[in-house]
Amino acid sequence: MTVDIEFPERNVTLGLWEIRVGRGRSTCWIRTLIPIQKLDKNLTARLYWSDLDLRVMQEIVLGVGGVRMLRALGYNPSVWHMNEGHAAS
């Protein structure tokens, strides 16, 4: 499954995975899938980059991409929690 995130000069395609673990629990993963520039590979390579532009782009990937991912998987959370710049539902 994929979703696209629109940035001013390009789109970044994210690959989405839902992995079931334990007793019916699942975890969702987002990864840049079709990078146009080398920078796009870094968006999901690690957290807490010191480069401010890259960090803001990561927040967009996690926030916007995360919402799109959950909706594509059929989840519709009634509560969204934002903690220290990391999105969770």
Q: Is the pLDDT of residue 87 over 60?
A: no
pLDDT for residue 1 is more than 80: yes
Which domain does 60 fall in, by range? 2-88
Model confidence at 89, in pLDDT bands (50, 70, 90)?
very low
Cα 65 to chain center, whole Å? 4
pLDDT digits (tens, 9 = 90+) for 8-59: 888 888 888 778 888 878 888 888 876 666 668 778 877 777 888 888 888 8
- pLDDT on residue 53: 83
pTM: 0.74
**Domains in the chain, number:** 1
pLDDT given at position 84: 57
Q: Is 70 left (phi over 0), alpha (psi -120 to 50) or beta?
A: alpha
